[in-house]
Amino acid sequence: MVLKYLFLKLEKSVVIWVQLWYLFDINAVANILFLESPAGVGFSYSNTSADYITGDEKTRQDSFTFLLNWMERFPEYKHRDFYIVGESYAGHYVPQLAQLILSHRKTEPNLVINLQGIAVS
pTM of the model: 0.74
Amino acid 51: pLDDT? 83
- pLDDT tens digits for range 25-50: 666 667 788 888 888 888 877 888 88
C-alpha 78/C-alpha 60 separation (Å) is: 20
CATH classification of 5-120 is 3.40.50.1820, yes or no? yes
Tell me the three state secondary structure of residue 83.
Answer: strand
Q: Which of 37-41, 60-64, 107-111 has the highest mean pLDDT?
A: 60-64
Domain chopping of the chain, boundaries: 5-120
Amino acid 82: pLDDT? 92
Task: With beta carbons less than 8 A apart as the criterion, state whether 72 and 106 touch.
Answer: no
Residue 113 has pLDDT above 70, yes or no: yes
C-alpha 70/C-alpha 90 separation (Å) is: 20
C-alpha 44/C-alpha 54 separation (Å) is: 13
Tell me the three state secondary structure of residue 120.
Answer: strand
Mean pLDDT of the chain: 79
Q: What letter would DSSP give residue 71?
A: H
Q: What angle (nearest 5°) sits at the alpha carbon of residue 55, between those of residues 102 and 121?
A: 65
Percent of the chain residues past pLDDT 70, beyond the cut? 76
Query: Which amino acid is it at 78?
Result: K
Amino acid 15: pLDDT? 46
- pLDDT tens digits for range 71-96: 999 998 888 899 999 889 889 999 99
Amino acid 26: pLDDT? 61
Tell me the three state secondary structure of residue 24.
Answer: coil
Residue 3 has pLDDT above 80, yes or no: no
Strand partners, 120: 86
